[in-house]
Amino acid sequence: MTREMLKDIPIEELIDQAQKGDEAAHNFLLKTYQPFIAKTVSEVCKRYIDPERDDEFSIGLSAFNEAIRMYSPDRGSSFLTFSSLIVKRKVIDYIRYQNKYPVTISFDESYDEEKMENPTEVEAVKSKYQLEQEAWYRRQEILEFQNKLAMYKLSLQDLVEVSPKHRDARDSAVRIARMIRDDKMLSEYVEKKKKLPIKELAKKVDVSKKTLERNRKFILAIFIILGGDYVFLNDYLKGVGQ
């Protein structure tokens, strides 16, 4: 299959083909997404990354290749979000190693399956690695969410204090956040102004201005989650405010 033909195939489908042994799809992904890899590595290193000279790029490319092998759409995240986390983690591990800090050992390096005759032992190691990975992803997701909240002059402590106590109130707030996210004009207003258009919202929802103001911070937080690729945070919203 030619490069031009591959360009028209959705990325998730290319991942599936690569995982099934399609070298053309695999090589296309590695080549096409090098700018994405360099940008992701640059976010960690806080400087321009030269793919030809910087070792960190090679680490990122290797991590991206690992992400291709490990990715599953069942996790609920897009491939680019998933691969971004993998790349960042591997680059951080590399930097720590270079600075003589303890490093996180990758799954491929942490055990030799051929030396483990007990299948239960193999599964235990795999399970432990999976749990460690997910714990790391959760921490990264929370950090990214905190940074986004700060842009709206909000904090996690704010959410603890203002989160509606009753289920009906939470469902209502989530529905309002979904409605704002689905309305292009309202969504653009909130993203630009970093606040809710209370008067406009009061005309569109069966909730008083007083209630909107009381739940303002919570609605904004849900709005942020709905607009981002927050795998674990979005899990909490499944079936809520539908």
Question: Which helix (H) or strand (E) segment is 81 a member of?
Answer: helix 79-98
Please tell me whether the overall predicted TM-score, pTM, comes out greater than 0.85 for this model: no
**Domains recognised in the chain with CATH numbers:** 3-104 (1.10.1740.10), 120-242 (no CATH)
**pLDDT tens across 137-179, in order?**
677 788 888 988 999 999 999 888 888 888 888 899 999 999 9
Q: Kindly state the average pLDDT of the residues 202-218.
A: 91
Burial degree of 155 (CB within 10 A; 0-12, 13-18, 19+): middle
- 8 Å CB contact between 59 and 38: no
Helix (H) or strand (E) holding 38: helix 34-45
